[in-house]
Chain A
């Protein structure tokens, strides 16, 4: 073993790989850490909550232990009317906190300072990334000024306004409740992102699919799920183009109902067994009638069943409609 070329070689491989990682990981980390959360990032973070991927709180990705987004028309504590309505993010007891409550530095300069001083986010008790708070927390967004710049920051409404999760959910009612986090879980699990990207590009995308995202639009998001293989329209701003819940329902149940040339799969299985009235959905009958329709034997396609409020499709549509 007198021949030593491999020792020099091994050291050189280590040096080359180390240099490469210094340039591609260590150096960009300064740029990435300086990103200041935009309003879009804060909305996405609070509505989606902690990492959507596999985790202790939701190991099978069923959408359990996730925050709930509500629009409040009345104050949950005082009962006073709120005009315009206020969007609140409800974290019940045990729901993992959004990532930047635990790591406020990642909110970025200004947003962190305002969220801590005005928004009281450091007071979230028992804030633990996997266990969540013991009593639950309600967050809202607020506008503040930092060094002459207007910034949106996170407010711990449980402390500043005394809103509790249960009272907030009761005040909102099911009509104003949006299961956005569960919906994003469905987006990841059903593999929507293999075709629908979340990253408009700097070409005609700007006009067709909306503004490309900026630095700071992703803080606190995991997974970002940009997608790489676009076989379908980009959906980062889809609800700005089309916010019709009825259209979404028909399109998910069978995309060929609204776009005959679509190659999107049918997501009728997300309806579950029962419809909104509690009746069993007869998929075989529906498909038989649809077949007759597509063969020209019927004038109209069969009606798409109304989904149940606890169905998976409700959460998915809630999430899609949150993509402004």
Chain B
């Protein structure tokens, strides 16, 4: 139904069309990504589950799960929020709603074909940049570049005087992630080899998290929390400290992912110190948001978007405490390469980041559709399934990682570690399946909102209306 606007004149396209397209695409990819995650987890718990076929082998599906979640769910949810927050904060329209719609279409087509080719085994063999380089170029030039142009031009054509912190992040991060993808994939474009290839692989992976996923997720919270609570942001200045310390500190510690490789020692030490300094933006963000909540804590119980957002901010606390210290040499020695890291990665992507994005997608879709959420009960079901499922996953993988680390240090034969981890692998599968189930319910809930949700009168916000179901 949105396809009819692809060839319409830009002025004739209703504002929010691109955000709606991106929003539903993001939820769809979230369902796909978590479904694949649940399937893969089942294979780790029960190795003979679906066996004997190449396409359904673990090694063919693991990377499809990772990239469906990162490029599909998380990045498209980011694009969705940019498509409605950036113009709202500039008191204007999107620079080009039409370009936004085309970006969403190309994103879906490009990602589907990239994931299919990855699934059948066409890969670069580089973690987090597994796509063959033609698909890397499609993502860089067909997806990130138009998104960046659209966001920055919208900010440039704003009708407000200052630039709010959220837009600082949106403008800078869409630009910086383009640079990261360009430089990070250079081993594929220019056939770099050896330790340079290994290092740039992790430079790319680190900065995708550091200059894209973490800061944009935080930028979203800077919008949703003040907007929904009606409180002004506690401190714009602390927000700026967050922004600048992200750019300076989070862009440098890439080599802490390769502490046991023969990279130069000065680089590893530098990365380790910079890695601890990530606590500065982290504390600034968490403190700023939680202080903004002052006097409105009842909304943490009553309002579904605040419930998701604040949970995401709470999850940022263990995330950053782990992230700051687990990459120092002494702790990294114990936990490197274990399930602890898997737990930490899911705490970042499925915990902190996803909870903030879910809130923004709930809020944004209601605003752009001008319809009240179909069912609060289903939304609460979604919240608890994602939260309990995630916690089950996170705690079980953390314990499994500590067992694995101890096995590594105390010279336990590897197979004994595999046996000890088995119960936690089952728990991981149960947790992942709960997240998947919750997301299916969410997709249904949002679909019903678009179809039969009560219309929000002009000039009102959806969260000002009472829930009906």
Structural contact, B251 and A269, CB atoms closer than 8 A:
no
Query: Which of the 9-residue segments A145-153, A188-196, A302-310 touches chain B?
Result: A188-196
Smallest Cβ distance from B452 to chain A, in angstroms? 43
Interface residue? A245 (CB, 8 A)? no
Smallest Cβ distance from A37 to chain B, in angstroms? 9
Q: Mark B33-59, 1 if CB is under 8 A from A, else 0.
A: 000000000011001100111100111
Structural contact, B59 and A191, CB atoms closer than 8 A:
yes
Contact flag A214-B127 (CB < 8 Å), given A25-B203, A28-B199, A262-B418: no
CA gap between A192 and B62 in the complex, in Å: 11
CA gap between A226 and B338 in the complex, in Å: 14
CA gap between A233 and B58 in the complex, in Å: 17
Structural contact, B193 and A219, CB atoms closer than 8 A:
yes
Count chain A CB atoms within 10 A of each CB in B58, B183, B263, B419 and give the residue with the most.
Answer: B58
Interface residue? B60 (CB, 8 A)? yes
Q: Mark B179-200, 1 if CB is under 8 A from A, else 0.
A: 1000100011001111111111
Q: Mark B157-196, 1 if CB is under 8 A from A, else 0.
A: 0000111000010011001100100010001100111111
Partner of A224, one of B54, B58, B198, B422: B198
Structural contact, B203 and A262, CB atoms closer than 8 A:
no
Interface size class, chain B: 35 or more
Interface of B is mostly: helix
Structural contact, A24 and B122, CB atoms closer than 8 A:
no
Interface residue? A143 (CB, 8 A)? no
Structural contact, A203 and B333, CB atoms closer than 8 A:
yes
Structural contact, B191 and A191, CB atoms closer than 8 A:
no
CA gap between A192 and B409 in the complex, in Å: 24
Contacts of B53 in A (CB 8 A): 269
Smallest Cβ distance from B127 to chain A, in angstroms? 6
Contacts of B336 in A (CB 8 A): 201
Interface residue? A174 (CB, 8 A)? no
Smallest Cβ distance from A255 to chain B, in angstroms? 8
Query: Which of the 9-residue segments A12-20, A79-87, A156-164 touches chain B?
Result: A12-20
Interface residue? A287 (CB, 8 A)? yes
Contact flag A188-B125 (CB < 8 Å), given A229-B337, A230-B337: yes
Structural contact, B415 and A259, CB atoms closer than 8 A:
yes
CA gap between A182 and B59 in the complex, in Å: 17
Interface residue? B260 (CB, 8 A)? yes
Structural contact, B123 and A106, CB atoms closer than 8 A:
no
Interface residue? B258 (CB, 8 A)? yes
Partner of A129, one of B123, B191, B247: B191
Contact flag A218-B260 (CB < 8 Å), given A13-B247, A229-B342: no
A-B residue pairs in contact (CB < 8 Å), sample of 9: A17-B247, A32-B195, A51-B188, A106-B193, A191-B60, A199-B261, A224-B198, A229-B339, A259-B415
Closest 3 CB pairs of A and B: A191-B59, A54-B132, A223-B125
Question: Using a CB–CB distance below 8 Å, which chain A residues touch chain B?
Answer: 3, 5-6, 9-10, 12-13, 16-17, 19-21, 23-25, 27-29, 31-32, 35, 41, 45, 50-54, 59-61, 99-100, 106, 129, 188-195, 197, 199-205, 207-208, 212-215, 217-233, 255-256, 259, 261-269, 283, 287
Question: Using a CB–CB distance below 8 Å, which chain B residues touch chain A?
Answer: 43-44, 47-48, 51-54, 57-60, 62-63, 121-127, 132-134, 155-156, 161-163, 168, 171-172, 175-176, 179, 183, 187-188, 191-201, 203, 244, 247-248, 251-252, 254-255, 257-258, 260-264, 267, 270-271, 333, 336-339, 341-342, 404, 408-411, 414-415, 418-419, 422, 425
